[in-house]
Amino acid sequence: MKPIKIVLRRVHCQTTTSGPGSDEPYVVVFAADMSTTPPGAQATLYGPWADVDSGDSFATIPILPLLSPDFVNSIPIFRRLCWGIGRQPAVISKPADVIILVGLMENDDGNPGAAESVVQTFLFASIVSSLGAQLPRAALVARLKEDMASALKLTATGFPSSDDPIGKIEELALTAADLDAAQAGVTTKKLEFTGDGGGNYTLVFALDKA
């Protein structure tokens, strides 16, 4: 079984949020490997992208082999891996071994980089604290979604305008068929985000073997 790469490949804006001007969205992904003790965990930021209007579609930038990791990590519109510690491909033996949560934000005066860091810290601590409780997977996912929403709200504060979530935290839920398809070649999965105050986006993730 080959290690798996998972990346955010494309973002499509069907409708912008209701605020004035164009959108400036960014994506925070939290991925946990539940097959290890303690679980491995990694938060990854994509974006923000500026001047996004209704109907726009934009892709993350493929990473060329000659680019240094420090350079790639300094520019979060690169197609960085969001699965695997240290952004390295990792084996997924079964879907239950993986929890991947995705949040979509509209950037105003908040700090997307801080959001990535706080999500990493808060959600890893939440997973570790839940180990003794032996929560069923569905209950753990629900708890982590709440914690991620709280972490993003905490770090989204900016003056004079705070960043706002577009829709709810969503799980990129994998199936056995997804893993089989990734072993055979590139396969994609989509997540839809619709905000209470407007904004409708589709995020496309790609899975492939390393």
Query: What is the tens place of the pLDDT at every residue in 3-28?
Result: 999 999 999 999 999 877 899 999 99
pLDDT bracket for residue 166 (50, 70, 90): very high
Can you give the pLDDT at residue 159? 55
CATH number assigned to the domain comprising residue 47 = 2.60.40.150
Can you give the pLDDT at residue 167? 94
Cβ neighbours of residue 44 closer than 8 Å, sequence gap 6 or more:
28, 29, 30, 31, 80, 81, 82, 87, 116
Residue 58 predicted with pLDDT over 80? yes
Can you give the pLDDT at residue 134? 80
Q: What is the pTM of this model?
A: 0.94
Alpha carbon dihedral 127, 128, 134, 138, in 10-degree steps, equals 0
Query: What is the tens place of the pLDDT at every residue in 79-129?
Result: 999 998 888 899 999 999 999 999 999 988 778 988 999 999 999 999 988
Domain containing residue 152: 4-209
The total number of structural domains in the chain stands at 1
